[in-house]
Amino acid sequence: MRCLLVYDIESDRLRAKIADVCLDYGLKRIQLSSFFGELSRNRQEEIMQRISRTLGRNEGNVQLFPICEKDLALRRIIDRHPPEPKSLPEKS
């Protein structure tokens, strides 16, 4: 099942560790603290347990949203990037 995982964690060190966990589970970063990808129900439980262990007693908010295909089909995306800088002509 496709899943969206988002988190709000103050500590830079912990944020980086949680990002590494997400990447270890094959999720792709879609925003600084948002990841998206395919996770079975078992893998959803595993990743949340691993994140909980990684957080320990530190403050943080981590949420995992399973998304069904029907809802995923309704997704709308705006993904704009700045234009590539134009290269200057070489001087002879």
The verdict on residue 52 lying in a domain is yes
Q: How many domains does the chain have?
A: 1
What is the CATH classification number for the domain harbouring 58? 3.30.70.240
Q: What are phi and psi of 31, to 5 degrees?
A: -150, 175
For the purposes of burial, counting CB atoms within 10 Å of the CB of 7, is it exposed (0-12), middle (13-18) or buried (19 or more)? Answer: buried
pLDDT in tens, 65-87: 999 999 999 999 998 888 877 77
Whether residue 30 lies inside any domain: the answer is: yes
Q: What does pTM read for this prediction?
A: 0.82
**Residue 22's domain spans which residues?**
2-72
Judge whether 77 lies within some domain. Answer: no
Within-domain flag for 79:
no
Residue 13 above 70 pLDDT?
yes
Strands 34-38 vs 2-8: parallel, antiparallel or unpaired: antiparallel
Q: pLDDT tens digits, residue range 21-66? A: 999 999 999 999 999 999 999 999 999 999 999 999 999 999 999 9
With respect to residue 38, please indicate whether it lies within any of the assigned structural domains: yes
Q: Is residue 23 part of a domain?
A: yes
In this prediction, what percent of the chain has a pLDDT beyond 90? 82
- Does residue 32 fall inside a structural domain? yes
